[in-house]
Structure 1
Amino acid sequence: MRKTKLSENVANQIKLIRKSNKLVEARYKFDIWEMRVFVKMLTLIRPEDQDFAQYRINSTEIIHDFGLYDNGSIYKSIKEGAEKLLTKQVEIERIDEEGRKKRIKANLISSTESFVDENEGTDIILKFDPELRRHLLDLKEKYLTYDVRNILKLTSVYSIRIYELLKQYEGMIDESKQGYAKRKFSIDELKKVLGIEEGEYQLYGHFKNKIILKAQKDLESETDIRFEIEEEKSSRKIVSIIFLIYRNNKNSKKEPKSKKQITESVHPKFNKIYTKVKDFVSVEIVESWFKEIPYEQIEVGVGYALSQHKRGKVNDMVKYLQKMVRTEISPTIERKSIPTTAPIIRFENEEAVEEIAKLKSASDLVFNEICNDLLATNKTLKNQIMINMQNGLFAKFYNQSLSFEQNLKDPMVGGAMKGLIHQAFPEAFTEYDNMIKRLKQLEK
């Protein structure tokens, strides 16, 4: 998988991962795609959450977050990673109230939901297994918190696991003394925690080169901690590794600007839009809209997409939002373009002018979308419209040498055809009719 540089937005945005120390030290094994899906799910948990929600991830966000290059197979890899997580179990040891050690085996996730056909949508919805609640929510006992930016560029699942295991001990570093903290693992214990199965990496030299030294290089290069190792022998055999854990100041992640600074540097109304769509797209995607698209177009596109989603018309909200936000609307009406002597329509302020322009554009989108939906789902409607057009008031304008679709594109003829659809199915146009009523109120 070819990598690309992390976007500036991702590189500068803190997303914290929180998990209990027991889960950090649990026994499990992921491949890189399972790890990426699991990490993405962890970043979606909010500190105030009291219970697990359904967590929606999208290939576009995975690409952004991990700085990946999409060669056309990423959705398939993410989908397979999510589905394989269903079969993964984690082994967690804990001490019960009577001081007895117990081992719990639990699934990581309880369900996945995805589209069979990628063309219909690329959202994947997952839910954590309830057993993980005590390890991911309302954490009161010992737990690990770290900035996910430290692991986004790591391509080895073992490097990520070792980072977490050593990060637990970062708080024990005494800068006034030796400047490092120690953590010791027997070789057998470390292999079990990392999920290395019996028979894998039997030679210590192989294990050291492929796992330990690889992690050492990765952490030195990409994360906020680094390590050296000491080895303990028994009868000339290496039996334990002692990690000497140092802070890696050259890779310390910059604290982000305040929320106000970030949003104001993008657009004063950034928060207004992001609040509406945060359940569907990442902050990076919204920032890209504001950099490329006029605010009025974003607002209209978001409003329309949300209304369609509420009506149950949208399968893939991420793709649909992207499409509608990037659909151009008619230019905003400026106050100076309205003659001061006009006796019919007068506007008290600029906000009313803007609202009218946006509402007109949105109503056009709604009207066209409803017409298209009705034509697609009603097989006889097209023939009825054609007969009415060929025999009614607009007969001389309806070009019978052109197809139905070509006539529909003509502003005058198409408008008449859509008017007939409106008359035939008035109940389908309730949303549009309400928008027109609102327009008339504003224009009074």
Structure 2
Amino acid sequence: MKQKQEVSRTVKLIKKSNDLVEGRYRFDIWETRVFTKMLTLIRMDDEDFKEYRIFLKDVVHDFGLSHKNAYKLLKDGAKGLTKKEIRIIRDTPEGLKEFQTHIAVGVDSFVKDGNYLDISFHPKMKPFLLQLQTQFLMYDIRNVLSIQSSFSVRIYELLKQYETIGKRRFSIQDLKEMLDVQDKYPLYANFKQRVILKAQEDLEKSTDIRFTFEEIKSGKQVTELVFHIIRNKEILELRQNNILPTKKTKEELIVINEIEQELFNLVKDFKGANLKSIQNWLKTYPADYVKSRITLVKNLLQVGQKVDNPMGFIQSLMIQPNIFDPIQEEKEALEANKQKAKQQELAKQQEQNKEQLLQALKDEYEESRIALMNTIFTKYPDLSKEFLTDLRNKRNKENAPFIVQLAYDHYITDIDGLAPASKEEIIYNHRLGGSFSALLIEWFDVNFMNEMNEMNEQFKEKVQSINL
């Protein structure tokens, strides 16, 4: 049951640079409360920090504190702030730079029965809090007043920056560094339970945004988180009606998987849309079945057809085993044609690539064969003369084969720089192709069968690998 309580209409805004939001630091919850209260005391037109007087009763009231030692704990929080340092990674024209400074300086308070304390920001914090024109985060302080975890406040700010985008991705290492908890939660399971799930509960219960998240793994280890950021309509409606939200149990929080997220994104703008509906549908029907009915309704709206209650219409379609969506059919047909054309183009390109590879292999084979011939000629110095003598004898026989006649009659001699009947002269004529080249290859295949076969087998394997 929602509980009506008097809520202040005065909205106090927190404003800080994005660099500060993403800084590396860790506060406890009392330091966080003092820091937050200090932020509300900065005026938009302030050009320098002042010594800020914080009345402890105001902090107790604003944050709804009931702790009997609240005054003492707030004073300890203020003192703790003066000892804390923040590390900020800044993108400068010279490259990324790391900036480090204390956060606050000077705390004055009465030893006993003091009802206020005086504190100021460290002067080096000015670029991150004063005269901010661009690259800053601003939000309603009411979003963090009832949160009991400083980590939840930090995660709220980190996600609030990306609310309009709707998604933010962190590596586990980067997120732990921002929250400065590498030593506190070295194991992901503890980090998830104590920080991520706690923040999910706190934001759902208290802030204007909520989130679901996906775990991205490398092997078996979770290495990244993708946060899906959703406007918390319930909290916003309660504030609009000046009602404080009631506490939700952990069981009421919805943790969704990737399929549920995809389907919810399709309906999230419909009135009455909620994650529980998606989950209930998926308990009964396959994901594709649910998606097809959501898509039908969205297609009808896209072409201008009036649908008064989209979520109700989708619910009615769930019990219809067969539906016909002409718009989706047309889209699928166009997509099928597009994919077919793409596949045909891909097949054509693959064939061209194959032809190019085979041609390159053919050229490589020819050069390897020439290299082998050259090696054999070098090994047997008189071989070139023996080959040419054998060719001449075959040519001089009556009824010599026509190919032998062509090979011998077209053999070129007296080549500048090449000795007659040398291996270089034979290789030169071989490169010209034709009958002589064919006879030379045949002669080597017969007389040096082992060497030629060994080379041929190597290239057969290469050809097979291309044809696979």
- 2:76 alignment counterpart: 80
- CA-CA distance at 1:171 after TM superposition: 2.1
Ranges of 4+ aligned residues in structure 1 off by more than 4 Å: none
* CA RMSD across the alignment: 1.9
Per-residue CA deviation, residues 365-419 of structure 1 (Å, 9 max, x unaligned), is xxxxxxxxxxxxxxxxxxxxxxxxxxxxxxxxxxxxxxxxxxxxxxxxxxxxxxx
Question: Per the alignment, do residues 166 and 206 of structure 1 end up closer, same or farther by CA in structure 2, a change over 3 Å counting?
Answer: same
Aligned residue runs from structure 1 range 309-348, under 5 A = none
Which residue, out of 190, 193, 196, partners 1:212?
Answer: 196
Which residue, out of 188, 208, 211, partners 2:173?
Answer: 188
The residue type paired with residue 227 of structure 2 is: F
- 2:136 alignment counterpart: 143
- 1:18 alignment counterpart: 15
Q: For 1:125 and 1:6, locate their aligned partners in 2 and report how far apart those are by CA, in whole Å.
A: 35
- 2:305 alignment counterpart: none
Q: For 1:7 and 1:79, locate their aligned partners in 2 and report how far apart those are by CA, in whole Å.
A: 29
Per-residue CA deviation, residues 82-110 of structure 1 (Å, 9 max, x unaligned), is 01111000001112232x11101111012
Q: What's the TM-score, normalizing by structure 2?
A: 0.49
Q: Secondary structure at the match of 1:215?
A: helix
The residue type paired with residue 133 of structure 1 is: K
Aligned residue runs from structure 1 range 229-248, under 5 A = 229-248=213-232
Q: For 1:25 and 1:161, locate their aligned partners in 2 and report how far apart those are by CA, in whole Å.
A: 9
Q: How many pairs align? A: 239
- CA-CA distance at 1:202 after TM superposition: 2.2
- CA-CA distance at 1:256 after TM superposition: 10
Q: For 2:116 and 2:241, locate their aligned partners in 1 and report how far apart those are by CA, in whole Å.
A: 28
Which residue, out of 203, 216, 225, partners 2:209?
Answer: 225
Q: Is the 8 A contact 1:16 1:145 kept in 2?
A: yes
- 1:8 alignment counterpart: 6
Q: For 1:7 and 1:107, locate their aligned partners in 2 and report how far apart those are by CA, in whole Å.
A: 39
Which residue, out of 60, 81, 97, partners 1:102?
Answer: 97
Q: Which has the larger radius of gyration?
A: 2
- 2:106 alignment counterpart: 111
Q: What's the TM-score, normalizing by structure 1?
A: 0.52
Q: For 1:206 and 1:197, locate their aligned partners in 2 and report how far apart those are by CA, in whole Å.
A: 11
**Structure 1: runs of 5+ lacking an equivalent:** 173-180, 258-444
Aligned residue runs from structure 1 range 23-172, under 5 A = 23-71=20-68, 73-98=69-94, 100-118=95-113, 121-172=114-165
- CA-CA distance at 1:70 after TM superposition: 4.5
- CA-CA distance at 1:9 after TM superposition: 4.4
**Structure 2: runs of 5+ lacking an equivalent:** 243-468
Q: For 2:203 and 2:231, locate their aligned partners in 1 and report how far apart those are by CA, in whole Å.
A: 10
Aligned residue runs from structure 1 range 293-308, under 5 A = none
Q: Is the 8 A contact 1:232 1:239 kept in 2?
A: yes
Question: Per the alignment, do residues 53 and 9 of structure 1 end up closer, same or farther by CA in structure 2, a change over 3 Å counting?
Answer: farther
Q: Is the 8 A contact 1:6 1:67 kept in 2?
A: no
- 1:316 alignment counterpart: none
Q: For 1:239 and 1:230, locate their aligned partners in 2 and report how far apart those are by CA, in whole Å.
A: 11
Matched, 1:197 2:182: yes
Q: For 1:256 and 1:137, locate their aligned partners in 2 and report how far apart those are by CA, in whole Å.
A: 33
- 1:439 alignment counterpart: none
Q: Secondary structure at the match of 1:246?
A: strand
Per-residue CA deviation, residues 56-88 of structure 1 (Å, 9 max, x unaligned), is 1122111110011142x1111111110111100
Q: For 1:126 and 1:9, locate their aligned partners in 2 and report how far apart those are by CA, in whole Å.
A: 28
- CA-CA distance at 1:6 after TM superposition: 11
